[in-house]
Amino acid sequence: TYTAIATLIICGDDLKRVNKAAIVKALKLLQLQDGSFCPSFGASENDMRFVYCAAAISYMLDDWSGIDVD
């Protein structure tokens, strides 16, 4: 998701066709109790790469509601 959105922005896309609500909802589902993120549903690994991706996605979409910052 991170790479796809970044590529669209680099190519000059305005992201109007991107389902931002679905992406934000998915971010909420991928965040674990300790604040980290999984790369996909049911995945067992989690580390700072996925926290970065979640933050970058939120920044690019200008919507931080998918991340529980606390």
pLDDT score for 44:
79
Q: From 48, 18, 16, select the one nearest 32 (Cα to Cα).
A: 48
Phi, psi for 37 (deg, rounded to 5) = -125, 145
Name the helix (H) or strand (E) containing 48: helix 48-61
Closest C-alpha among 3, 5, 23 to residue 14: 5
pTM of the model: 0.88
More confident residue, 34 or 14: 14
Q: Mean pLDDT throughout 3-20?
A: 97
Percentage, residues of the chain above pLDDT 90: 73
* Dist. CA 58–CA 27, nearest whole Å: 9
